[in-house]
């Protein structure tokens, strides 16, 4: 059943590439008006153009999501441009930043999600069937020797989503999370891994029961479902979308 988001106002952070880009485009194709933000202006503008070509209203702005003031300014501008906020998708991650990974991951993966929700809440409280979807990771469900900061931040985000769901329920705002497995897209971590460390890439792929890495579109589909009326009685949950990868640990 096609999902119809006509008239809905959607914010997608980290919306210029990968999962964020696919999610923003999916919402636009389903009839929503969309705002996206990201760090890189060039990629952001390219994606803004792709969304605009769908025919919806689109707002785009660069935003440093580790900066509380920048988050408040972005949410305010997005709400003004869209005429309100119905759906918030917190997708950005600090894993690719160049500083201290613990600081970057907790500032962006966790605190940005907290601050975005706080800034958007007054707008979403006025909406009908409002929904927040936090993009976490299966890394938050298991130990990680390679990226412990990322795993810990994503685990915190999963826990925060449950608390968020309880807090926002009286305002009829649902909060859920999507936990992707290993997602491959141009310029992403697994794309670089395929080129730089193909043995690691193939080893991970072999450990996924479906025998392949995931696609951003597959995560976008799950996000749209959780944001839709079809998920109207679902809140505080984390939906794993990983081709069975987490089942093998």
Q: Give the whole-angstrom CA distance, residue 88 versus residue 227.
A: 9
Task: Tell me the residue ranges of DSSP E strands in the chain.
Answer: 9-13, 33-38, 58-62, 87-90, 130-135, 173-180, 238-241
**What three-state secondary structure class fits 142?**
coil
The Cβ of residue 125 has, within 10 Å, a number of other Cβ atoms equal to: 14
Active-site position among 5, 150, 160, 201: 150
Q: Give the whole-angstrom CA distance, residue 169 versus residue 10.
A: 19
What are the Cα distances from residue 41, in Å, to 47, 68, 193? 10, 19, 25
Q: Return phi, psi of residue 59, to 5°.
A: -120, 140
DSSP 19: H
**What three-state secondary structure class fits 48?**
helix
**CB contact set of 154 (below 8 Å; sequence gap of 6+):** 109, 136, 137, 139, 140, 179
The encoded tokens of residue 45 equal 């503008």
Is 201 annotated as catalytic? Answer: no
Q: Which residues are catalytic?
A: 150
């Amino acid at each position: 059943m096609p999902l119809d988001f006509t008239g809905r106002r959607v914010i997608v952070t980290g919306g210029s590439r990968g999962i964020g880009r696919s999610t923003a485009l999916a919402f636009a194709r389903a009839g929503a008006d969309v705002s996206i933000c990201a760090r890189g202006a060039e990629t952001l503008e390219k994606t803004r153009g792709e969304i605009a070509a769908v025919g919806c209203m689109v707002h785009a702005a660069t935003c440093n999501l580790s900066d509380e003031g920048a988050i408040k300014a972005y949410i305010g501008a997005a709400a003004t441009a869209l005429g309100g906020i119905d759906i918030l998708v917190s997708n950005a991650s600090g894993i690719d930043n160049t500083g201290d990974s613990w600081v970057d991951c907790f500032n962006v993966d966790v605190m940005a999600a907290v601050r975005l929700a706080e800034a958007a809440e007054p707008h979403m409280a006025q909406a009908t069937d409002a929904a927040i979807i936090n993009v976490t990771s299966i890394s938050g469900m298991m130990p990680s020797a390679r990226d412990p900061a990322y795993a810990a931040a994503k685990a915190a985000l999963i826990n925060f989503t449950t608390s968020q769901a309880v807090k926002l329920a009286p305002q009829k705002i649902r909060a859920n999370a999507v936990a992707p497995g290993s997602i491959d897209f141009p310029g992403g971590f697994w794309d670089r891994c395929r080129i730089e460390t193909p043995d690691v890439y193939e080893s991970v792929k072999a450990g996924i029961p479906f025998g392949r890495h995931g696609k951003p579109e597959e995560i976008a589909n799950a996000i749209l479902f959780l944001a839709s009326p079809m998920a109207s009685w679902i809140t505080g949950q984390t939906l794993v979308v990983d081709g069975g990868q987490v089942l093998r640990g």
